Amino acid sequence: MFFFLLVDKIMKRQTAEALKLLHDLVKQKEEPIKLLALIARQLRIVYQVGHYRKAGYTQQNIAGKIGVHPYAVKLAAEQTKFYSQEVLKAALSKCAETDFQMKIGAIDKTLALELLIHQIGGR
């Protein structure tokens, strides 16, 4: 449950609260790579929703197109106001780079997530 709150705080650019939740989740032995996957998933959904809304699709059409529940589309539509498509694209790229760095052991996983949260929130 805290996973979704973490993602929500990140998407709303509430960086300090997101970092606190991240540390709480890490203390509870949650895997940082799993948390990164949830963050990337939400960024991807918000990106897709923004794209399809600009193209004139309805919430129901978008849900069917990207394979998520209409309520998830509604939440993502609200989050599109915080980010341009370019920023979302850059954030997704940063997620991929962070994932790679974490998996090859080039950076501490928690530190990598902290940096990512700062970068997403600071855009």
Q: What is the CATH number of the domain that holds 90?
A: 1.20.272.10
Give the per-residue pLDDT at 122.
77
Give a yes or no: residue 88 inside a domain.
yes
Give a yes or no: residue 94 inside a domain.
yes
Give the per-residue pLDDT at 111.
97
Give a yes or no: residue 102 inside a domain.
yes
Give a yes or no: residue 98 inside a domain.
yes
Give the per-residue pLDDT at 60.
95
Q: Which domain holds residue 104?
A: 2-117
Rounded to an integer, the average pLDDT of 33-53 is 97
Is 1's pLDDT higher than 80? Answer: no
Q: What is the pTM of this model?
A: 0.93
- State the Cα angle at 44 between 109 and 121, rounded to 5°: 60
Give a yes or no: residue 58 inside a domain.
yes
Give the per-residue pLDDT at 123.
56
64-113 tens-digit pLDDT: 999 999 999 999 999 999 999 999 999 999 999 999 999 999 999 999 99
Q: Do 79 and 12 touch, CB atoms closer than 8 A? A: yes
Give a yes or no: residue 122 inside a domain.
no
- Mean pLDDT, rounded, of the chain: 95
56: left (phi over 0), alpha (psi -120 to 50) or beta: left
**Strands annotated E in 46-99:** none
* Number of separate domains in the chain: 1
Q: Cα–chain-centroid distance for residue 34?
A: 12
